[in-house]
A and B are shown apart, each in its own frame.
Chain A
């Protein structure tokens, strides 16, 4: 009985804190995305890049982000494991992670005109086979930043 009350309190608290943190994170992501809307332009497709302009600098830019759901999200996802279906609580987590990683990459490439050949990858960095593993995800966005003279 005490266990379940403790669990309910924990779930309530982590739901509240998780919601606040997520809301703030989304606000900050939106603000930064709007600020960066003009430059640099990202190009996801091309492997080769032809231009007549003189190029000043070419460099590798990366943005990384490791993100985890809160206790409540993990718990709901765990319950969903019994029935199956979309893990909606993790969708927002993955979205936050991806946008954060791309934003960090673009912030690193400040001043560049283009980021060409951008790729986004995700890795699980925890061990799935131990009991205490935390569901978490590392997302890396990388590309080549091109700056004109």
Chain B
């Protein structure tokens, strides 16, 4: 064999044209960014459709949907206590202040066990306070703020909006689903993370709603500021983790209601 041919073979071995020279990690991040981008667009699309119809929905349709979603809730499971009686008097003060709360649910209030400081509202307007919250907080202004926050979610129809979004996104992600379980997991996690940012927006709006109510009732929002300062002392998460959380960081909420 002559030398030239040998050198040619060697160069073929060294310069491989069959393997792409792109970096797999770069490719990975580009693909993930592409999926995130698609889901951001999807959420904007789903939310605009959902909000368009839900904001124009009549109260009667709202009640029908709520009843359809809450047939599982057993009303006899929870008892009223002295704490909830106090909350009920506050509730009766709040409801006449906003048109969107009238003529709908009766907003029953119950207490559930749990050490964490939390309160939430079900699709049919039933409001739950944890024992941890009721133990920590005795001040009426703060309780008004928390209750008004939950009623704010109801007034903004956040429960119906999140249901409509879940249906649209669930339908579209099911098309994306491949046979590989881990790809599905990635897509679902990205969908969840994007959903959280929308939920943080809803929380801030509910805060502002509650802030307005507190101003109308007491003329100041000292109670709410005090409440968030108390929460800030209790929480241990650093602020940058807020992208993974359903609620905005306490500092942000504090800034929002101060202005």
> Which residue of the partner chain, among B9, B25, B186, contacts A7 with CB atoms under 8 Å?
B186
Check A91 for interface membership: any CB of B closer than 8 A. yes
Residues of A within 8 A of B1 (CB): 38
Check if A91 sits within 8 Å of B20, measured CB to CB: yes
Which stretch, A58-66, A81-89, A104-112, touches the partner chain B? A81-89
> Which residue of the partner chain, among A73, A76, A92, contacts B31 with CB atoms under 8 Å?
A76
Q: How many residues of B contact A (CB 8 A)?
A: 30
CA distance A136 to B31 in the complex (A): 22
Chain B 126-181 interface residues, beta-carbon cutoff 8 Å to A: 176, 178-181
Contact residues of B: prevailing secondary structure = helix
| Cross-chain pair count, CB within 8 angstroms | 74
Check if B27 sits within 8 Å of A75, measured CB to CB: no
Check if B16 sits within 8 Å of A95, measured CB to CB: yes
CA distance A83 to B176 in the complex (A): 11
CA distance A72 to B13 in the complex (A): 26
Chain B 201-228 interface residues, beta-carbon cutoff 8 Å to A: none
Which B residue's beta carbon lies closest to that of A74? B180
Contact residues of A: prevailing secondary structure = helix
Which residues in B have some Cβ–Cβ distance to A below 8 Å? 1, 6, 9-10, 13-14, 16, 18-20, 22, 24-25, 27-28, 31-32, 34-35, 176, 178-183, 185-186, 189, 244
Between-chain CB contacts (< 8 Å), 18 pairs: A4-B185, A4-B186, A4-B189, A30-B14, A34-B10, A37-B9, A73-B24, A75-B28, A76-B31, A78-B183, A79-B35, A80-B31, A82-B35, A83-B31, A86-B20, A91-B19, A98-B18, A131-B179
Residues of A within 8 A of B27 (CB): 76, 80, 88-89
> Which residue of the partner chain, among A4, A33, A94, contacts B13 with CB atoms under 8 Å?
A33
Distance in angstroms from A72 CB to nearest chain B CB is: 7
Distance in angstroms from B201 CB to nearest chain A CB is: 21
